[in-house]
Amino acid sequence: MNIDVVKEDLTGVAGRCLLVLATKDGTLLNGPAQLGEHLKPLVESEEFGKSFGGTYYHLNPTGFAVQRVFFFNVGEKIEKDHQLRRATASAWKSLRGKGFSEVVISLDGLEGSAAKAVLEGLFLGSYQYTALKSDKDKLPKTLDQVTVHASEDVAELVRQTKALCDGTNRARDLYQMPANLLNPTKLADTAKAWAEDRGFVFSVLEEDTMRDMGMGSLLSVSQGSEEPGKLIIMEYEPEGGSDKTFALVGKAVTFDSGGLSLKPSNAMAEMKGDMGGGATVFGIMSVLRDLKFPHRVVGLVPSVENMPSGKATRPSDVVTSLSGVTIEINNTDAEGRLILADALTYAKNYNPDYVIDFATLTGACLVALGPKICAVMGNHPELVQAIIDGGQEYGEPFWELPLVEEYKELLKSQVADISNISSVRWGGTITAGLFLERFAGDFQWAHCDIAAAIFEKGDEVNPAGGTGIGVRAGYGAMLRMS
């Protein structure tokens, strides 16, 4: 995608199509009022539609160099930036249906966050995963050229917005990749390739090293698979050094069959996306240099495949985690918390000021909050709030769940220090959070259960099967804690 930022008068900006957003009564949000004259009769005749999604296509607007104007109805007065994200994403999809691969848009008339949202709709809504399609000619058009007009200087806003959206889109690519093409080794290779390109340091702990260190919890998950597990380590250091360290920990189970506690087949196929927390951490790491993030960030991504086999962990097995805490594994499908436990303990080596983990951790989270909202829990209210606010800024909704003391006893084990599952069905997202707290409790820590990301059915802004959620909310949270 090529982006040109132009400051000249809009009348002189050339291009095939100018995208203009308008409310249902014909008030233009991002264009000169004189263009609205073309729209007025169509609003009166109701041809512009009475709600979000109505469109009107105008040829050769007098006095403008651009060849066409595409008006998009955003519905009522704008209440939330997300309405704008949905609008430009949706408008782009209409345009590409007409064979366009370019768009001109003006930011005049939009406030800071609204301008950002409009751009995000284009950068995120034009995402497609096409790597595995062979007939490239039959694919929907890609957005190759965006011309951004504004009377103010918006070049830096555009650059930063694009960089952050690229991070989300990289995370989406990882979600989409099937597990035969993205196993822990391939994921580590990807991080290695990105490291140079994106400006962070890469290393990996292999199974032998993890065994010597005593990461019995993480290894109990990978032992059933032919694919070796890894702990992928990424380190970003800002120029000039920093006095704060963030640790980001992301669950990357490249396929979660459930292990011997095998999932039913109708719940299994989506589990190629069980590396989503890792994808979020990769996505964030990939943008830090571009955005000149001012603090040190360590990304820790434990990556395994959870498979049944003669070597797999049996329900009731007891393992010793890196922290020394013994864990009775009563359900091998509650594996995410097992790999996170050791990664969280390992994070102590970096003496982080804040720790945030991301994980597609529990189906219960979908029961509690549905497919569009993620859960956040933690022991540091300011950090939890920073994630909620970061999510709010970028249209990635997070909702806090309580880590209630009373539920801790549900994780009691007869024979070990803790069980990896609760003794009751209810409140599974919270009990998973409480399990993690046992390993993260000494940090200023927040846990994000992003299970919803996998179940996205696809909307204007998000592709089906993996939203990349958390990249922007997480980045926004770190900025707030800077």
Contacts to ligand BES from residues 340-369, by CB under 6 A: 360-364, 366
| Residue 421 contacts ligand BES per CB under 6 A | yes
Among 15, 278, 336, 433, binds ligand BES (CB under 6 A): 336
Contacts to Zn ion from residues 319-338, by CB under 5 A: 336
Instruction: Give the phi and the psi of residue 432 in degrees, each rounded to 5.
Output: -65, -40
Q: Can 211 be counted among the known catalytic residues?
A: no
CB closer to Zn ion out of 331 and 392: 331
For the CB of residue 315, give the shortest distance to ligand BES in the complex, in Å. 10
For the CB of residue 279, give the shortest distance to ligand BES in the complex, in Å. 13
| Residue 274 contacts Zn ion per CB under 5 A | yes
For the CB of residue 251, give the shortest distance to ligand BES in the complex, in Å. 8
Q: According to DSSP H, which parts of 271-380 are helical? A: 276-285, 336-347, 363-369
Query: Which H or E run contains 473?
Result: helix 471-480
- 293 neighbors 239 (Cβ within 8 angstroms): no
Q: Which of 263, 289, 348, 372 is catalytic?
A: 263
- 29 neighbors 109 (Cβ within 8 angstroms): yes
| Residue 465 contacts ligand BES per CB under 6 A | no
Q: Among Mg ion, ligand BES, Zn ion, none, what binds residue 145 when CB lies within 5 to 8 Å by partner kind?
A: none
CB closer to Zn ion out of 198 and 272: 272
Tokens of 110: 């939009």
Per the listing, tokens 């204007």 go with 460
Query: Which H or E run contains 298?
Result: strand 296-306
For the CB of residue 91, give the shortest distance to Mg ion in the complex, in Å. 39
Q: What is the separation, in whole angstroms, between the first and last Cα of the chain?
A: 31
CB closer to ligand BES out of 81 and 256: 256
Q: What mask, x for binding ligand BES by CB under 6 A, covers residues 423 to 452? A: -----x----------------------x-
| Residue 456 contacts ligand BES per CB under 6 A | no
The count of residues interacting with ligand BES (CB under 6 A) is 18
Q: Can 425 be counted among the known catalytic residues?
A: no
Burial of residue 224 (number of CB atoms within 10 Å: 0-12, 13-18, 19+): buried
Query: Which H or E run contains 246?
Result: strand 245-250
Q: Among Mg ion, ligand BES, Zn ion, none, what binds residue 117 when CB lies within 5 to 8 Å by partner kind?
A: none
| Residue 331 contacts ligand BES per CB under 6 A | yes
Contacts to Zn ion from residues 333-362, by CB under 5 A: 336
Tokens of 274: 């069980």
Using alpha carbons, list the distances in angstroms from residue 303 to 80, 86, 199, 211, 275: 37, 33, 22, 15, 8
For the CB of residue 95, give the shortest distance to ligand BES in the complex, in Å. 33
3-state helix, strand, coil in the chain (%, to 5): 40, 20, 40
- 71 neighbors 55 (Cβ within 8 angstroms): yes
Residues paired with 176 in a beta bridge: none
Per CB under 6 A, the segment of 23-31, 179-187, 313-321, 326-334 that binds ligand BES is 326-334
Per CB under 5 A, the segment of 28-36, 128-136, 247-255, 468-476 that binds Zn ion is 247-255
For the CB of residue 333, give the shortest distance to Mg ion in the complex, in Å. 4
Per CB under 5 A, the segment of 38-46, 104-112, 267-275, 431-439 that binds Zn ion is 267-275
CB closer to Zn ion out of 69 and 307: 307
Cα torsion angle, 465, 205, 322, 331, sign = positive
Query: Which H or E run contains 205?
Result: strand 201-205
For the CB of residue 360, give the shortest distance to ligand BES in the complex, in Å. 4
Question: What DSSP designation does 352 have?
Answer: -
Q: Among Zn ion, ligand BES, Mg ion, none, what binds residue 362 when CB lies within 5 to 8 Å by partner kind?
A: ligand BES
Cα-based angle 312, 313, 316 (whole degrees, multiple of 5): 150
CB closer to Mg ion out of 83 and 362: 362
* Total residue count of the chain as it appears in this document: 482
Cα-based angle 224, 229, 232 (whole degrees, multiple of 5): 160
Give me the residues that bind ligand BES (CB under 6 A), please.
256, 274, 331, 333-336, 360-364, 366, 421, 428, 451, 454-455
Catalytic residues: 263, 337
